[in-house]
Amino acid sequence: MKLESATRRPLQSRQSRWASATAGWLTRRRVRPNTISLVSVVFAALAGGCLAATSSSEPTPRALLLLLAAAMLQLRLLCNLLDGMVAIEGGLKTKSGELYNDVPDRVADLFILVGAGYGVLWGTWATTLGWLAAALAIMTAYVRVLGVSVGSRHYFVGPMAKQHRMAALTFACVAGALESLVEHPYTGTALGIGLVVIIVGSVLTIGRRIRRIAYDLERR
């Protein structure tokens, strides 16, 4: 259990009754954790599509798209929570589980953050924010996995780990829905600010993880 704890993202929600009940329900129906991981990509693609579509929508449909995107982001996180619980607590862990646990997350980040970039109307360069946020999000995971490969431990520290990125973007979506109804013309300011926060936070996260990994290696 100590080894599993060291390789799993620490989440308080894992201890909640509703999460245990949902994971138990899925386990009893033999839903594979790898399947849950793949479903998270579907929710991510829907979120990214909704965010990208806000660039050409009318105010009310745009607000609904942003709220739908926020819901999809949370469903993506729910899948990320449940796949691990079904695998570990439910005893359905597979030999390819680590692969399915990590690769779909990277694809999901790409869909979501790039989609958000296309929803920012700050000029033709604004989409670069989404691509940069996606690249840095993938980099945070790369540094964590690289650290393990060279003999360090899994570091899930923030300030912009996955759950923090999704929280920041969910807040941006809700704020964007309000913005859509009151700002004319709409420019996607809330999404733009959300992406800037994710970019800055991701740079800090990468730096913190590299520093801890380097410290571990130098102590050996």
Q: Kindly state the tokens that stand for 77.
A: 């996180």
User: What's the confidence (pLDDT) of residue 2?
Assistant: 38
Triad 206, 69, 200: Cα angle to 5°: 20
* Residue % of the chain over a pLDDT of 70: 95
Residue 10 has pLDDT above 90, yes or no: no
Does the structure show a pLDDT above 90 at 11? no
What amino acid is encoded at 63 in this protein? Answer: A
pTM of the model: 0.92
One-letter identity of residue 209 = R
Q: What angle do the packed helices 162-182 and 189-219 form, to 10 degrees? A: 170
Alpha-carbon distance values, 51 to 35, 47, 106, 170, 203 (Å) = 25, 6, 18, 11, 23
- pLDDT band at residue 97 using 50, 70 and 90 as cut-offs: confident
Q: How confident is the model at residue 3 (pLDDT cuts 50, 70, 90)?
A: very low
- Asked whether the predicted pLDDT for residue 85 surpasses 80, the reply is yes
Q: How far apart, in Å, are the Cα atoms of 123 and each of 129, 181, 188?
A: 11, 21, 11
At 147-194, the pLDDT tens digits run 999 989 889 998 999 999 999 999 999 999 999 998 888 899 999 999
Please identify which residue in the block is written with the tokens 């839903």. 31
Could you tell me if 100 and 93 are in contact, meaning their C-beta atoms sit under 8 angstroms apart? no
pLDDT bracket for residue 129 (50, 70, 90): very high
Cα 218 from Cα 213, distance rounded (Å): 9
Instruction: Give residue 8's pLDDT.
Output: 66
CB atoms within 10 A of CB 4: 12
